[in-house]
Amino acid sequence: MKKLSRKKFIQKTALLTGSASLLLSSCTSGEEKKIVTPNIITNKKYRWRMVTTWPPNFPVFGEGCTRFAQMVSEMSGGRMEIKVYGSGELVPALESFEATRVGAAEMYHGASYYWAGKDTATQFFASIPFGMNAQQMHAWILNGGGYELWREVYDRFDLVPFLGGNSGVQMGGWFNKEINSPEDIKGLKMRIPGLGGKVLEKAGGAAVLVSGGELYTSLERGVIDATEWVGPYHDYLLGLYKIAKYYYAPGWHEPGSVLELVVNKQMYNALPLDMQKIIEHAAHSLHLWGFHEFEAKNNIYLDKIKRESQVEFKLFPQDVLDLLRGKMDETLEEIIADNPMSKKVYESFSQFAKQVRGWSEYSEKLYHNKISF
């Protein structure tokens, strides 16, 4: 190896020293720069509880929650385990929101229109009668400003919401009384909750609150004249085709019902960043699976109902839909008049709905009306 002369050695040393000094000077002069360390993965274990508004292992709804819990466990390498509780197993169904808010459970799965008593603005993030369909709701929430408003509403309750599925357009319901005109709505006793029930009452009907487990006997015994449930898959499993004469469409009351996965904000913020992202992406996976599972199963069970029953499939007359639509407009005016937050959310919701429907005239609607398989 060739030796450096003393002179050259001193020159190189000075050059290196000067460069180091310049580097240190640039790092320490002026504004201090913070060093951000990457997220550190630890072996800390998390044992969470998810309460739901659905019966244990309820098809699609409850099944999706179990799938979500399994996915989180796998993605986290077992660092987070989530125990899923059906309604009534840990808390009653409609106490899921409050249980998660106060930390009795870390998360829940449900639908935001259940919490209208907490804040009427919550309803817009599930489904509004004559509102947007599933595809349009997803576009508004994910890409049209809906998520920011959803988080703003839930932030006041120390909760963080995520998309958790969508039923798609539901059926209009099972009837033992034919609906030929607006007059047939008067006095109609129908199991229909939420805003749909309020609209029915404004149109002269009677909204009756009946749990899912009592639907069959209530319709069979004439306690109610009609009931809505979900769609062909769940309706078939409940056996409603055995006791109803008519199956009506479309589901004007729930054109695209968004389900939600909601986490206690304090507990979520205490998680390391990677765990937060695991929950976020597992929720999105749950959302996609749930929506497409409804589409796949409803397709199969619609055909089964047609083949195995004498049920008549009917469409609501246009003048009946026009009546209900008018009553829905009245109901919305009442909601936004009483709650500034509801008005803020509705303005975003309705503006997006108007724009997206303008596009659908040239896309989805035109395709389905003009092209057949």
Low-confidence winner among 6-20, 123-137, 166-180, 196-210 (lowest mean pLDDT) = 6-20
Which residues lie across from 166 on neighbouring strands? 258
Over residues 3-20, mean pLDDT:
45
Tens-digit pLDDT profile for residues 227-247: 999 999 999 999 999 999 999
In the CATH hierarchy, which fold is given to the domain comprising 46-167+256-295?
D-Maltodextrin-Binding Protein; domain 2 (3.40.190)
DSSP-derived pairing of the beta strands 159-166 and 189-191: unpaired
With a pLDDT cut of 90, the percent of the chain lying above it is 83
Higher-pLDDT residue of 373 and 78 is 78
DSSP labels, 200-225: HHHTT-EEE---GGGHHHHHHTTS-S
Residue 8's pLDDT band (boundaries 50, 70, 90)? low
Cβ-Cβ contacts under 8 Å for 367 (sequence gap 6 or more) = none
Tens-digit pLDDT profile for residues 167-188: 999 999 999 999 999 999 999 9
Over residues 254-274, mean pLDDT:
97
Question: Is the pLDDT at 3 greater than 90, yes or no?
Answer: no
Predicted pLDDT at 48:
98
**pTM of the shown model:** 0.86
Q: Give me the chain's average pLDDT, please.
A: 90
Tens-digit pLDDT profile for residues 62-80: 999 999 999 999 999 999 9
Residue 33's pLDDT band (boundaries 50, 70, 90)? very low
How far is CA 224 from its chain centroid?
A: 29
Amino acid identity, residue 228? E
Predicted pLDDT at 372:
67
Residue 36 main-chain phi, psi, to 5 deg: -95, 115
Question: 134 with 166: CB under 8 angstroms?
Answer: yes
Residue 127 main-chain phi, psi, to 5 deg: -165, 140
Q: How far is CA 180 from CA 183, 225, 227, 324, in A?
A: 8, 15, 17, 14
DSSP-derived letter for residue 311 is: P
Which residues lie across from 315 on neighbouring strands? 249
Question: Which value, in Å, is the radius of gyration of the alpha carbons in the chain?
Answer: 28
Question: Is the pLDDT at 22 greater than 60, yes or no?
Answer: no
Over residues 215-224, mean pLDDT:
95
DSSP labels, 86-123: -TTTSS-GGGHHHHHHTTSSSEEEE-GGGGTTT-GGGG
Question: Is the pLDDT at 92 greater than 80, yes or no?
Answer: yes
Rounded CA-CA distance 258/137 in Å is 8
